[in-house]
Each structure stands twice: as structure tokens, then as C-alpha cells.
Amino acid sequence: MGRPEARRPTVRSVYLRPWRIDIVAQPGVRSPLAFRALARAAAEALTAAGAPHPASLTLVLSDDADLAALNAAHMGEDGPTDVLSFPLLPPSAFPAHVGKVPEAGHRPIEPTYKAPPRLRPNLGDIVISIERAIAQAADGAGGQTGDVAWSAADELRLLVVHGVLHICGWDHADATERDAMRALEGDVMRQQ
């Protein structure tokens, strides 16, 4: 009698030059959007933000329980959230943008930054609660302002774009940067 096989995540890599988007779906998590469409949203946001390339990015599709644990461990917040971004490069590695305050002691890397030959650095990980995206869309609590009723696929697409912009050094704590970030998210969403 053999041991039952542990459920493993589904892992796919989608290449959309100059990007490699690695998508990890945790066991039991089903995306309302095809992996290629998720990768396309991420790639368009990376391009719009001027991310250094070639590079890779990881999207992890998970649930509220995982996001609640990550939210507590990394943000000090209780309860689940819809998306968390874990950048591996400092914001100064990305082009300047509206509202961005340069980090003390850091000079921005030129947008023409190139990785060493044959190396594709990972820009970071984005973890999204599919459960939260579906609920927000169903409750009319989606979109940038939390009051949009649209499909779960559109909400998920926005969360991918939002997460990518955080990877690329964007934030929404400052009103000027928040407004610019929302405008860029809207531009990327209209391209899809």
C-alpha cells in the first residue's frame, strides 16, 4: 500500500520577450484567467514601468489563508489581502516616475540597465489571493477604488498589474504617486 501523493502546485513558465513569467498555482487554486493572459498582463505592466530586461517575475496564485499568513508576517496586518509584492531589486533600479522620492544615498540605475550575459534576474514575487479577487468582483468591491463591479478575470488582471507596479518601485501612499499609478494601471488594462 503506497502513500498518497502530496498535491503539488502547478508551475508554468510563459516567455513573452524580454520577460519570463513563472506562474505558480497552489494546490486547489483555480484561476479565472488563463496563465498566458496573466503573463501578458504582467509583461505589459513591466514594459510600461520600464523594468530592466531581460528579466523574470514570479506570480503565485493562492488563497485567503496564505495571504493572511503573509500579510501578518510581512506587513504586520491581520487578515487576508488581495495582493502582496516582494521586490528583489530596490526602487532605484527602475526609472523615475511621478511622485517617486529617491532613496537616500541611491542613484537611479539607467533605464538601459542590462543584466550580465546569459543571466535573467528575477525582479520579485507577487502573491495573489484568487479567492479575494473573485469575492471582490462578485461583491462589486473591485477596481482601483474598491467600488467596481466587473468580472473576476478583470479583477485578477488588475491585481497582477498593481502587483507588478509595486515590484517596479511604485507606491500609493503619496496622493500624487497614487494618482499616477492608477493612471498607468488604467493604461495597461486598456491594452488588454
pLDDT tens, N- to C-terminus, the chain (192 residues): 555 556 899 999 999 999 999 999 999 999 999 999 999 999 999 999 999 989 999 999 999 999 999 999 999 999 999 999 999 988 888 888 887 755 544 444 444 455 566 678 899 999 999 999 999 999 988 888 888 889 999 999 999 999 999 999 999 888 999 999 999 999 999 988
* CA angle at 190 for the pair 10 and 58, rounded to the nearest 5°: 25
Q: What is the pLDDT of residue 101?
A: 57
Q: What is the pLDDT of residue 180?
A: 92
Q: What is the pLDDT of residue 97?
A: 85
Domain locations in the chain as residue ranges? 10-190
Strands 122-129 and 55-62, by their bridges, are parallel
pTM more than 0.85: yes
Which superfamily is assigned to 10-190 in CATH?
Metalloproteases ("zincins"), catalytic domain (3.40.390.30)
Is 89:53 a contact under the CB 8 Å cutoff? no
